[in-house]
């Protein structure tokens, strides 16, 4: 089955700096890669996703890049703000009607004011 790994497990950045969170996956059949943000005590929130026919996708201060050859994808947050502090989960899913998301272990991002 699919195995998704995230690294680092924690990341601390200064407000205004950029943050990059990386994930690797094992199943070459995976073609959908969402990112979720979970603030303390809240539900996981889908913030951006990318499909395997696209190499990069941007939405304001966040972007996701995908390298299918190397089987890794990354979340980029520019001009970080304290409200970006949260746990970020990456996930991967192969094609198929019954396919399921496999989540990474999560990365705690702390933005220092």
Partner 1 sequence: SAVISQKPSRDICQRGTSLTIQCQVDSQVTMMFWYRQQPGQSLTLIATANQGSEATYESGFVIDKFPISRPNLTFSTLTVSNMSPEDSSIYLCSVGQPRGSSYNEQFFGPGTRLTVL
Binding site for partner 1 (CB under 8 A): 32, 34, 36, 42-46, 49, 51, 89, 98, 100-101, 103-106
Q: Between 100 and 112, name the residue whose CB sits nearer to partner 1.
A: 100
Tokens of 32: 């959908």
Smallest distance, Å, CB 17 to partner 1?
Answer: 25
Smallest distance, Å, CB 2 to partner 1?
Answer: 12
Q: Between 85 and 104, name the residue whose CB sits nearer to partner 1.
A: 104
Smallest distance, Å, CB 20 to partner 1?
Answer: 20
Neighbour-count burial of 4, counting CB atoms closer than 10 A to its CB (0-12 exposed, 13-18 middle, 19+ buried): buried
90-92-98 Cα angle (round to 5): 135
């Amino acid at each position: 089955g699919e195995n998704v790994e995230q690294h680092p497990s924690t990341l601390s950045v200064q407000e205004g700096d950029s943050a990059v969170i990386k994930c690797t996956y094992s199943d070459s059949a995976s073609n959908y890669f969402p990112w979720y943000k979970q603030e303390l005590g809240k539900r996981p929130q889908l913030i951006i996703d990318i499909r395997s026919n696209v190499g990069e996708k941007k939405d304001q201060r966040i972007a996701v890049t995908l390298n299918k050859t190397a089987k890794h994808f990354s979340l980029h947050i520019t001009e970080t703000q304290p409200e970006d502090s949260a746990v970020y989960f990456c996930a991967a899913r192969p094609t198929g009607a019954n396919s399921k998301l496999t989540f990474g272990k999560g990365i705690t991002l702390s933005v220092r004011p």
